[in-house]
Structure 1
Amino acid sequence: MMHIYTNDAHGRFVRADVIPQCGWIQLQNPTPEELYEVASATRLPFAFLEDALQPEERPRVERQGQASLVLLHEPCRDERVSAIHEDVKYRSLPLGIIVTGDLIVTVSRQASVISPDFMVRHGLRLAPGRQSFNALAMAEGIAQAFAGVMQDIDADIASAEAELARSYRNRELYALLYLNESLIYMTTALKNMMHVMHRIRQDEYLPLTPEDLGMFEAAVAELDQAHAVTHISQLNLNNVMDAYGNIIQNNVSHIVKFLTAVTIVLSIPTLIASIYGMNVPLPFQTDPSAFTVIVISMVVISGMVAWLFQKKRYF
């Protein structure tokens, strides 16, 4: 799907039917025909557009001719995963930001956080000489999106912890495991994007004005903060998984010990009843009160064994 935007005389975002000299081309899960149309109209390297659609493409920055590609990752939620214990719900996928002249092109396989509402909310304009600033503002917006996803992940972790504290099932551990995998996606993407931002500054892949440098520093600060929060959450989650794994194992041991003690106590009357159920001469078999004596003996012996186990805290 391709959308073309430009600013009208009042600075408002409006849709355009043709690619303007100064504007924004938004490609979300585009068709091959749309990719060829954009590549031929803007003379962009087709590989720039194609690379942004590869799920495993790592963040990087690249320049060919007048076109600069800033390939970042943005967080996304898998709507097919309804519960956190079923699969990995939070992932990161590539978002390509291509700057060429006064045009900026964004390419992604999914609905992106970079939308016209985002542009308006951050006061961005599609004016000549503003595309480097817009690209850096998009990087800052992506960092903020990571921070928002981290809030959801922390809430899911807290929910899984609360459920795990009163459960002996593996489902909650699977939830923590999948959340940990989500944090790995987030940490890796943020770390790679920080490396990309430093390369932009050092190797001058984008022409930066003094105003652009201020936005660059803000984007780097947001990325660094999001990475720190994600890393801390990952460490905490690993500690929680280890702790609750030991707790569940300890709880299971207590249950096994309790069931074993109950089995021993119940085996005593079973053993006595089995002996006196044999078809052989037995002591007191002719005594009229033999049944009463045997039952009382089973209760007393079982009670003594149960008292002994209770004293040793087997129950």
Structure 2
Amino acid sequence: MIKYWQQEDGKLVEKEEGELNRHSKIWVDARSVTRDDIAELEEKYKIDPENMLDALDPDELSRIDYNDDFEYTFAIVRLPVFSPGDDISYFCTPLGIIIKGNLFITICWTDCEVLRDFAANRIKDLSFNDFPAVTIRFMARADIMFLRYLKELNRRATTIQNEMLQSVQNHELIQLLNIQKSLVYFATSLKSNQMLLEKLRKTKLLKLDDEDQDWLDDVEIDNRQAMEMVDTYTNIMAGMNDAFSTVLGNNLNIVMKTMTGWNLVLVLPTLITSYFGINVPLPWQKSPWMGAVIVLSMCLFAGVLAYLFFMKRRLTPEVKKRVPLAQRRKIRIQKRTIAKMDKQAAKKK
């Protein structure tokens, strides 16, 4: 899908290709591109196919260079993406940026909130007459979304942790694993963007004025803050996984102790009855009441053992603590909040 935007009275306006003012700056917005879109971009705007493949590669890292053969500046910026329907809801995607004359071309294999914010005029004081500044604003918006998504991931992890305090299920463990994957994607993308920011400060491919340099400083601060948050949340998740692994190991040990206790209770009656199956004369074996006496004795003996092992809590599993009512309410509120955020994001998408 290819859209065309031009700025009028400080706001971006979507236009048909035939309505474009060729003397003004044009934003060619290519999202969720198809093969036909790729062929159209390559033919109409003379884009290097290798750059097109790089922009559509989900694993491509951030960079900037100049294409001498096709005479344009090419950059890749990593953007965060929230997709509620996927197993891993939070991941990252490359955004290809091509600056060629009065054209500002963005290429992305999917859609994301950063691009929607630009198209919806949610970016304050945005001027498409300064393409280097627009590039920096894309990175600034990406950092804002990184920070927002990191906070949402932290809230989800807290909710899952509260659920696991009640019972540990495979579903919660899989959710924690997906959150860890998202944190790894974010960490890799933020480090890649940080390298791009450092290169923008040194390169001459984008001519930055004093105001752009100030914006660049602010973006670097936000990017470093997001990197520190990722490291913090990653360490918290690692500690949480270790703690729950220990809990699962302890629960398994408790179950094994319980099974051992039952085996001790049941093995002694079995041992006594096995004596009557051997071909050896036993005392009182011809007595009509001896069978009942033996059965009652074994039941009494097993009851005494059960009392010693379980009622005295020597091998009894630990009593699971009941989660307080206030904490259960907090868990329900967190679940509703996350579900509401997912629905809002799905509607925006």
Same fold per superposition (TM over 0.5): yes
Q: Please give the TM-score of this superposition, normalised by the length of structure 1.
A: 0.87
Residue aligning to 1:137: 137
What letter matches 2:79 in structure 1? Answer: E
Residue aligning to 1:13: 12
The reply on whether 1:294 has 2:294 as its aligned counterpart is yes
Kindly report which structure 2 residues correspond to 1:1-315, keeping only aligned pairs within 5 A, or say none.
Answer: 1-8=1-8, 10-18=9-17, 20=22, 21-64=24-67, 67-81=72-86, 87-115=87-115, 117-118=117-118, 120-128=121-129, 130-276=130-276, 281-310=281-310, 313-315=314-316
On the 8 A contact 2:82/2:112 being kept in 1, the answer is no
| CA distance in structure 2 between the aligned counterparts of 1:185 and 1:115, rounded to whole angstroms | 19
1:5-46 Cα shifts (integer Å, max 9, x gaps): 0022x2332222235341211001223443444445545544
Residues 287, 35 of structure 1: CA spacing in aligned structure 2 closer, same or farther, 3 A cutoff?
closer
| CA distance in structure 2 between the aligned counterparts of 1:197 and 1:14, rounded to whole angstroms | 29
> Displacement, 1:231?
1.2
What letter matches 2:249 in structure 1? Answer: Q
Residues 116, 269 of structure 1: CA spacing in aligned structure 2 closer, same or farther, 3 A cutoff?
closer
| CA distance in structure 1 between the aligned counterparts of 2:64 and 2:122, rounded to whole angstroms | 26
What letter matches 1:69 in structure 2? Answer: F
Residues 135, 193 of structure 1: CA spacing in aligned structure 2 closer, same or farther, 3 A cutoff?
same
On the 8 A contact 2:80/2:146 being kept in 1, the answer is yes
Q: Structure 1 stretch 241-250 or stretch 160-169: which is displaced more?
A: 160-169
Q: Structure 1 stretch 187-196 or stretch 17-26: which is displaced more?
A: 17-26
1:106-150 Cα shifts (integer Å, max 9, x gaps): 11011122335435222244443x211111111111111112221
1:204-244 Cα shifts (integer Å, max 9, x gaps): 33111111112212221221111111111111101111111
- Write 1 or 2 for the structure with the bigger share of helix: 2
Residues 127, 176 of structure 1: CA spacing in aligned structure 2 closer, same or farther, 3 A cutoff?
closer
What letter matches 1:184 in structure 2? Answer: V
| CA distance in structure 1 between the aligned counterparts of 2:292 and 2:300, rounded to whole angstroms | 12
| CA distance in structure 2 between the aligned counterparts of 1:166 and 1:116, rounded to whole angstroms | 40
Give ranges in structure 1 of 5+ residues lacking alignment. Answer: 82-86
What letter matches 1:195 in structure 2? Answer: M
Give ranges in structure 2 of 5+ residues lacking alignment. Answer: 317-349
Residues 38, 170 of structure 1: CA spacing in aligned structure 2 closer, same or farther, 3 A cutoff?
closer
Q: Please give the TM-score of this superposition, normalised by the length of structure 2.
A: 0.79
| CA distance in structure 2 between the aligned counterparts of 1:124 and 1:40, rounded to whole angstroms | 33
| CA distance in structure 1 between the aligned counterparts of 2:181 and 2:276, rounded to whole angstroms | 61
| CA distance in structure 2 between the aligned counterparts of 1:124 and 1:266, rounded to whole angstroms | 80
1:220-277 Cα shifts (integer Å, max 9, x gaps): 1221111111111111101111111111011111111101211220222233234346
> Displacement, 1:171?
3.6
What letter matches 2:314 in structure 1? Answer: R
On the 8 A contact 1:6/1:23 being kept in 2, the answer is yes
| CA distance in structure 2 between the aligned counterparts of 1:34 and 1:289, rounded to whole angstroms | 94
| CA distance in structure 2 between the aligned counterparts of 1:165 and 1:285, rounded to whole angstroms | 56
| CA distance in structure 1 between the aligned counterparts of 2:265 and 2:128, rounded to whole angstroms | 85
Q: Alignment RMSD, CA only?
A: 2.5
| CA distance in structure 2 between the aligned counterparts of 1:250 and 1:197, rounded to whole angstroms | 48
| CA distance in structure 2 between the aligned counterparts of 1:26 and 1:139, rounded to whole angstroms | 16
| CA distance in structure 2 between the aligned counterparts of 1:5 and 1:168, rounded to whole angstroms | 51
| CA distance in structure 2 between the aligned counterparts of 1:116 and 1:110, rounded to whole angstroms | 11
On the 8 A contact 2:284/2:290 being kept in 1, the answer is yes
| CA distance in structure 2 between the aligned counterparts of 1:192 and 1:110, rounded to whole angstroms | 19
**Which SS does the other structure have where 2:114 is aligned?**
coil
What letter matches 2:25 in structure 1? Answer: C
Residue aligning to 2:319: none
> Displacement, 1:188?
0.6
On the 8 A contact 1:7/1:125 being kept in 2, the answer is no
On the 8 A contact 2:6/2:12 being kept in 1, the answer is yes
Q: How many residues align?
A: 308
What letter matches 2:286 in structure 1? Answer: T
On the 8 A contact 1:124/1:134 being kept in 2, the answer is no
On the 8 A contact 2:190/2:227 being kept in 1, the answer is yes
